[in-house]
Structure 1
Amino acid sequence: MTDLSVPVAQAKRGVQIGTNQRTNIQIRMASIEILVGGPYSGHTYGHTALRVTTSVDDRIYDYGRYRGTWGMGSSKGEGILYIWENFQAYIRKEISYKRVTTGFLYEITEKKANEINKYYNNKIENKKEITKNQYFEEFQIEDYDAIE
């Protein structure tokens, strides 16, 4: 049996599922999900991303030192923000690292979810887009400091 969780707008557009199998479809209302990825090969630390679901959007905000690094133990780096619009693509990337990711889901109001999206929209305002594809957009927003 397959489980599929989608925001309201996506459910109205239709969802793709395999035939001849039972699928539970959960219509997601406004929520945040803290996605905690564990350590993986060669890395002794994990990673956290934030998933924000509204009635029309499902985004994952993934921020880290994904490019040039410097400082003690490479603790500083170019702060890169990935904005994923496809949860399945995001989680496939995490699984490819053989990383276990655990989600902590909290229902919030639509207004609060929109405020979070607005916060991240302000972060990328006037920032040059590095990459854009069907799954995510990538921006360098500020230097990242893992210690501070």
Structure 2
Amino acid sequence: MNVKLIKAIFLCSAFLTVSCSNYQFQGKSISAANYCDLPLLEGDTVVVSTYYSGIEEYWGLYSKACDLKAELNIDSMHIHNQQAIEILNDVHSEYFKYQLKVKALGYYRSSEEGAGHLGHNDGDFFVIEFLKLNKVKNEIGQ
């Protein structure tokens, strides 16, 4: 049996921390994962829902449920969704008012040196495709 499949079954059944919903991407079934479990699923392609916020050059993904912070790594050459790019630009220009609720397909890589500006994030989440981006009011900026 495939090691990744065993890992997903174990997480889904034993800890109930990974949602067992599946998405289709390039003919493959992709599982939805809890953002906080990304280090356990390092390198696996997953779908996560979490928040993206920052100030100046300090940006990242985060969850209120854990301390994991990840750099949102976007290859703009492969993100063809103009609306997603506009929403990201809006949030960057109005960081004091807004953050993003993000649902994205991608994979996580941890970094001992840290990721992002001055290594303030624990690793990188490499976006393959944005599934949903919602601009929400920033609780801190109000």
TM-score by length of 2: 0.32
TM-score by length of 1: 0.31
Kindly name which structure, 1 or 2, has the bigger radius of gyration based on alpha carbons. Answer: 1
